[in-house]
Amino acid sequence: MRDPPERRNPVKQECERFSPDTIVQATPGKTFSAVEDEVVILDLEKGTYFALDEVGRFVWERLQAPKGVEELEAAILETYEVEPDVCRNDLLELLADLDRQGLIEIVE
């Protein structure tokens, strides 16, 4: 049985927007630059910037072209030592955060 909407975790609700078949890509027009193992993304329209760690950079670089969530997860698992459940949860949280900030979009 699911919790009523008012009692559900908002991050979990945002993550539910992404299924393994969901195709996502970076929102066009975002400027970014690699800085050592990280990436800094500039949103010139909002006047804000975002920094992603090494794995975030790995995902961001792949999002420059449309990618499936399942494809992203497989690439992370192939490259990094991480448990599949942890990988999936962390990836969904990252995608939800990038989506909330307007940095990615779902490709229909």
What tens digit of pLDDT does each residue of 40-76 get? Answer: 999 988 899 999 999 999 999 999 999 999 999 999 9
Model pLDDT, residue 3:
55
Q: Which range of residues forms the domain containing residue 77?
A: 5-106
Rounded Cα–Cα distance for residues 21 and 83 (Å): 20
Q: How many domains does the chain have?
A: 1
Tokens describing residue 105: 């979009």
What tens digit of pLDDT does each residue of 97-108 get? Answer: 999 999 999 997
Q: Once rounded to an integer, what is the mean pLDDT over residues 73-83?
A: 98
Rounded Cα–Cα distance for residues 108 and 89 (Å): 23
Task: Provide the β-strand partners of residue 24.
Answer: 67, 106
Residue 48, domain CATH: 3.90.930.60
Model pLDDT, residue 48:
92
Between 56 and 8, residue with greater pLDDT: 56
